[in-house]
Amino acid sequence: MGIPLLICDDSNMARKQVTRSLPDGWDVDITYAINGVEGIEAVRQGHAEMLFLDLTMPEMDGYEVLEHIKAEGHKSIVIVISGDIQPEARERVLKLGALEFIKKPINKEKLENVLQMYGLI
């Protein structure tokens, strides 16, 4: 059984792009969420040892998901993947417990480099 990986993004295209950018042969079990409400529920169900999280989503945004993860004491490793590249956004997600911030559109090499840098692959 692979690492439980949650990809939480309201854009179907973005979810597919992240999936295609995963390292070849990386043993993960992927779950998808289309908004933060689904995302936090998947975290609660144990589907997110690792979480790739968008910030701008309906119902519950990525910041709120990070706040819930922190408040509920979940140990998910979170990498934010967002088009919101303002320095304030990056600083805020890191303070909320995200491991890293990658800008959209995701780059396969950048994702692999981040995963290697943190010993995740």
Phi, psi of 22, deg, nearest 5:
-65, 145
Q: What is the pLDDT of residues 90-104, one digit of tens each?
A: 999 999 999 999 999
CATH 3.40.50.2300 fits 3-117, yes or no: yes
> Hey, where are the domains in the chain?
3-117
Average pLDDT over residues 70-84: 95
Q: How many CB atoms within 10 Å of residue 20?
A: 9
Best CA proximity match to 9, nearest among 78, 67, 82, 72 = 82
Q: Is the pTM of this model over 0.85?
A: yes
Give the strands of the sheet with 50-53, arranged side by side. 28-33, 3-8, 50-53, 77-82, 100-103
Q: Which amino acid is at 55?
A: L
Q: What is the pLDDT of residue 85?
A: 81
